[in-house]
A and B are shown apart, each in its own frame.
Chain A
């Protein structure tokens, strides 16, 4: 990433592409995009990463979070464009969706990633499953109920418990 930022080095870019693109594509398919659309959005994501690399002060940690945010935004953009029949650049809704962390000190992101990963590892497997499934579905409740074999009526409180636990593991006041 350092050399992508500094010299726009294609070799470094290709290495990042090799590592992240298959993960991004899998993530997008898991969140409901068809294989073809996931392929296209993945390519757009990697391209956007290249164009934004100059803002990015690299360090290995934090990169996945940054790419995650770009992929998420590209996915939202794409889904909204599908709905907008007449393309009007002035009505492009996407600029609110810039990754909030693109200009943020990467050391902070790296530190937070570290804390978040430690916290995730400390969740019970049920709670980790809840957090994981919450990322992938528009209506995650049914899927969580099925996956964990719990009644739909208790899913909401289980989600709340899991997120409260995550919050306390991260040391945030409730």
Chain B
């Protein structure tokens, strides 16, 4: 699989720094699963993190900190995380979802317009994350829209194109405030994407206004 569209370096750095919101982080994680070059970049930024850590001034711990940790060394680690939460809707989506979504709750497909459906993705512990699956039939023209914040879109199946390029499974489109576009679903098959919005959804003009009354976030 050749991947032509990647997250920006600034976004990958935020992911490596752990400062990216939970919503965009899930979409970036889905991209990383299929993109070796971005994984390498994340590793480089983690090395930057290691260098910064090494250069930090020292903040003394409480005097009993080491003793308390030593006391706990032989206790079993807190319960192993069972992350997988595969719901009925995971299966109803009709395709293999990326592992980064396995701990998320996937809502049912809901009508958004002719040939256009969406499903809410809920991330436990991050109720304010704005993440969704979008499904459009072959040839569907989405409304032209600008962006009030950054929109992260990972293609899961089918294809999509706009003025800037063509997006296939594995590609990630990061459209920020400078981008106005009108995505069109490729002619051969329906397209399913994983999308996260950053910032106020209502400001995401057409797409946001379309989603907002339904999504309510």
Contacts and interface: CB of A to CB of B under 8 A. Distances in A.
A18 B60 CA distance: 10
Contacts of A137: 19
Interface in B19-40: 19, 21-22, 26, 29, 37, 39-40
B14 A134 contact: yes
Contacts of A134: 10, 13-14, 17
A137 B20 CA distance: 10
B39 A100 contact: yes
Contact of A26 (B10, B37, B59): B59
Interface string B32-70: 000001011111101111111110111111100110111
B127 interface: yes
B126 interface: yes
B61 A21 contact: yes
B203 interface: no
Contacts of A24: 53
A65 B50 contact: yes
A81 B99 CA distance: 21
Q: Tell me whether chain B's interface is mostly helix, strand or loop, or mixed.
A: helix
A88 B73 contact: no
Contacts of B85: 90-91
Contacts of A43: 61, 65, 68-69
Interface string A11-47: 0011001101111111101110000001100110011
Contacts of A172: 37, 40-41
A68 B41 CA distance: 16
Contacts of A94: 81, 83
Contacts of A62: 50
B50 A23 contact: no
Contacts of B56: 23, 26-27, 30
B82 interface: yes
Contacts, number: 188
Contacts of B187: none
A47 B69 contact: yes
Contacts of B42: 100
Interface string A132-147: 1011111010000000
Given A95-B81, A163-B9, A66 B50 contact: yes
Contacts of B83: 92-96
A16 to B, nearest CB: 11
The 3 closest A-B pairs by CB, nearest first: A65-B50, A80-B125, A95-B83
Interface of B: 8-10, 13-14, 16-19, 21-22, 26, 29, 37, 39-44, 46-54, 56-62, 65-66, 68-70, 72-73, 77, 79, 81-83, 85, 99-100, 102-103, 123-127
26 contacts: A21-B61, A22-B58, A22-B60, A23-B54, A25-B59, A27-B52, A39-B62, A50-B73, A65-B47, A67-B50, A67-B53, A69-B49, A72-B49, A81-B125, A83-B125, A89-B79, A93-B22, A93-B123, A93-B124, A104-B43, A116-B44, A116-B48, A120-B51, A132-B52, A136-B19, A163-B10
